[in-house]
Structure 1
Amino acid sequence: MKAKVDAPIERLFWFQGKLRLEETEREKLDQYRGVFSKNKERFAEDFYEYFRQIPETRLILEHETRTGNLKKAWSQWFEYLFTEDFNEKYLSYLWRSGLRHVEVNLDQRFINLGYSIVRQFCNEIVREGIPVVDQDSVMSAIDKTVDLCLLIETYAYIAATSQCDMEIVKGISHQVRNPLTVIGGNIIRLQRQVDPRSPVNKTYETILGENKRLEAMVTDAGAYSEMFEKEPAFSEIPLESLISGALERLKSTHWVENIKIDMDLNSECPMVYGVPEDLEIMFYYLLQNSLEAVDQKSPYIRISSTQMSSTPSFVEIEIFNNGKPPSKEEMDNLFVPFYSSKPLGTGFGLPIAGLAARKSLGDLTLEPVPGQGTKCVIKLPIPLKNSSKTINS
């Protein structure tokens, strides 16, 4: 399998800046490039022998048809640590290395182990071949360089593996959506030809209900996939507008007649800090879930917020409904994709809401309130006075 994920160069330069890998440190390594370069073949041999002793990695090495080329690649990689500038070309080279690990199905833990071996090998060279006066500064530069390499390769590894997972979800959604449309259309046509009171019509109604549920599941699976893949862009958002907007959307689809909704939001925390489009979706699904769960005889929802005393940089939002609380088994599975306790549920509403909360650095829990109902507790960051207005993560 060939992993095809473009290197996010701008993001990789951002990581380099955050690690504070300065030009002066690269110059310090360049000063001793000859000391390290002359050990590149020894590094490749030692590296190969080390991983040949581990059963899981030995299996990969024994099935590698280009052992000589592999050692040559490792030798070159080691030399590049001390001779290459961290420009777009070199960052792309490191990114491709991470993708290659996915292609050969190498466990990320062994990649981390490999970088530990690199550090140890470099440490040995520094102790033996670098003047004592420069050893600390050289080792500091090596640590930052190796940290950046590991960060880039881990990023590439995660991007490639998650892309594969998401491609499967997208593929299934696409392949299922078209047949569902055909099935639904044909059932509606057949339904028009039978007596509405006949048992056959009831069968058609059942099939249509399941068809609509599957169509909704495909839509929700696509929403989950899209949210998972997208890079979060943080900004300040009025909490009340997020909630009011979600309620307004739900009035045309999931509204409950004669429902009473109380809203008591803390005026001292009017804003939250997160990903606007994700939080809009999160509140939509959470309020939809509450509307579906309320006591139908006297439907009631209460929405409140308070600044958390334990962590003042967060606000806690509570959405309470007076419906019957889920059982312990249901509570344990509500955030698992495809699980639903409702006949027409897709099993994606709460997983999407949970993902949205996490991407905004928040948290989401459901708790039963004995004898009263169920509360959903959301914890979200609030804007800090000294923070920038928008952050792209």
Structure 2
Amino acid sequence: MSLAEKNPAGPGEVLIVEDTPASLQLLSDLLTQAGYAVRQAQDGEMALLSARERPPELVLLDIRMPGIDGYEVCRRLKADPRTRDVPVVFLSAQHETEDKVQGFKLGAVDFVAKPYQPDEVLARVRTHIELRRLQTGLEQRVRERTADYEQSQKKLQASWQQLQELTGFLQTVREEERTRMAREIHDELGQALTALRIDLGWLVNKCSGDDPRIAEKLASAHQLVVRTLDAVRRISEDLRPGMLDDLGLAAAIENHVAKFTEHSGIPCALTMNREEFGIADDMATAIFRLTQEALTNVARHAAAHSVKVEILDGDDAIHVTVQDDGSGLPPSNGRKTFGLLGMRERVKMFGGKFDMASVPGKGTRIAAIFPKNQEVNE
């Protein structure tokens, strides 16, 4: 640990490297009287050993020395991770520009010319130690802020992961609940209405010759039951298409596209490169719901003349595209579009990619990629 780390408010610790004893003692006395802790080295080897053992806050380094000269000492100090940040001030009787340029290229921060001017030496030493301390303090702050940022990022990532898992769980629970409701509506209410329709049909046949008003009421009730039964079946299919469970994704999509065209009057061209897709049930459900939601948006908002749906099975992923030629989406006004958000979240659950492109007056294109080998976030 350096002196600055032990006592950051103190003047500082300086390593003086000078092969002339008189000059070395002169500088040592000057800095000691000013309150600095001084270490001495009379050659380059001793300087390197001292600096590596305990890095000082500043090195005052003579250029011309026997053995390893000051330039080489500086080069080695800057090459060593332990000492590369220690500021080096060259001591030199030379005033040639190229000597200074070479020193600065090696990483020196300043030059002090011989013969020494005490006030100048003290001013330069104080300035560079203060700059070094400011730099060290800033670096420490950056490290602390970086550590805080990384910790915050980890927490945010963990929260995001939990949110994704919760979203996946809620989607699963909602789909299971819709399946349960669809079965109850279909099996219980549907069967009860079917039995009532049969009984009313029998009564209509038996009472056709009796009071015309009774026959008319029975016929009206029979038609109401028939319409209600159709509505129940439609609601049940909207909650959970039985075809999706019984015949698979391709058949369910074909049936839904046909019903979309029938009910909306908008022609819908369907392209699939498989008669059946060999994917898990949860992914098949997600693809069906995305297509269903996209077509619902087209019917409600797009004012389209035609729609294209593509579901293509690639080597690594299922590609889903729904494109219309309608009015497109208006510029965002900050409102949440929960339909698009729901579709995006469905795709994210499978580690996929979702993209929506819309041009006012030229339609909207929704594209999703479902990786086939991606684990679901559950």
Q: Tell me the TM-score normalized by structure 1.
A: 0.32
| Highest RCO, 1 vs 2 (Cα 8 Å, sep ≥ 6) | 1
Higher radius of gyration, 1 or 2? 2
Q: Tell me the TM-score normalized by structure 2.
A: 0.33
